């Protein structure tokens, strides 16, 4: 049996995504629209939109696409992903505009969830943003767990993502990130 070769590219073994990434980074979004329109399932849709948004979060290519095609579901979802990525990056960097970016991303998630109610991505994005709520000040981030022995958190948001794509990998990863982040912020500084 031949050994598998590792692939060191954000697209991994997704050859169509690899080609589209190059176009999108160059400011050309038509191939992205076509790829996302032809994406066959929610798992791949989630993965592709996450990778694409991370690659172009520092540019305005998605905003330009949305301006040209304001009714495009793919553009709306990718715009939501980009705004969330920007808010998360700003938070990690301690940027002074983090709260503004967080509000913008949260609103983009709400709009996307209404635009395409069957899509799990807006709910996954809300899960990603939940980790920015240090101290769990928002009610939606401290809901009682559905099972005993679990922490309070954004369980209803996870349930909404799970309802649309049961077992979505990124949704559960985002919930784990929330748990890890909230345990670090509530535990205080580490002692040595």
pLDDT > 50? residue 190: no
Query: What percent of the chain is modeled with pLDDT above 90?
Result: 71
DSSP symbol at 11:
T
* Residue 14 DSSP SS3: coil
Q: Is the pTM of this model over 0.85?
A: yes
Query: Among the ranges 6-15, 63-72, 133-142, which has the highest mean pLDDT value?
Result: 63-72
pLDDT > 50? residue 139: yes
The domain of 182 spans 15-29+41-187
In-domain check, residue 132: yes
Neighbours of 59 (CB within 10 A): 14
In-domain check, residue 192: no
How far is it, in rounded angstroms, from Cα 73 to Cα 33?
A: 9
Lowest-confidence pick of 28-32, 57-61, 177-181, 185-189: 185-189
Of 91, 112, 94, 111, residue with least CA distance to 102: 91
User: How many domains does the structure of the chain reveal?
Assistant: 1
| CATH number for the domain that contains residue 46 | 1.25.40
Task: Kindly report the average pLDDT of the chain as a whole number.
Answer: 90
How far is it, in rounded angstroms, from Cα 2 to Cα 5?
A: 9
In-domain check, residue 34: no
Lowest-confidence pick of 11-15, 34-38, 94-98, 114-118: 11-15
User: What pLDDT does 185 receive?
Assistant: 61
In-domain check, residue 138: yes
In-domain check, residue 82: yes
In-domain check, residue 35: no
How far is it, in rounded angstroms, from Cα 62 to Cα 31?
A: 12
Task: Give the pLDDT mean for 46-68.
Answer: 95
Instruction: Count Cα neighbours of 169 within 13 Å in the Cβ-side half-sphere.
Output: 8
In-domain check, residue 68: yes
């Amino acid at each position: 049996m031949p050994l598998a070769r590792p692939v060191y590219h954000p697209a991994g073994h997704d050859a169509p995504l690899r080609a589209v990434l190059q176009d999108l980074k160059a400011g050309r979004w038509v191939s992205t629209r076509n790829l996302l329109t032809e994406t066959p399932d929610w798992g791949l849709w989630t993965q592709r939109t996450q990778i694409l948004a991370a690659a172009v979060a520092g540019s305005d290519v998605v905003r330009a696409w949305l301006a040209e095609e304001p009714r495009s579901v793919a553009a709306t979802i990718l715009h939501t992903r980009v705004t969330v990525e920007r808010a998360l990056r700003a938070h990690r960097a301690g940027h002074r505009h983090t709260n503004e970016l967080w509000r913008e991303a949260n609103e983009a998630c709400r709009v996307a969830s209404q635009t395409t109610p069957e899509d799990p991505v807006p709910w996954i994005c809300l899960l990603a943003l939940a980790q920015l709520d240090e101290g769990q000040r928002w009610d939606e981030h401290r809901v009682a767990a559905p099972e005993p022995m679990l922490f309070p958190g954004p369980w209803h948001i996870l349930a909404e993502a799970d309802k649309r794509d049961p077992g979505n990998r990124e949704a559960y990863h985002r919930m784990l990130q929330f748990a890890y982040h909230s345990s670090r912020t509530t535990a205080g500084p580490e002692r040595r």
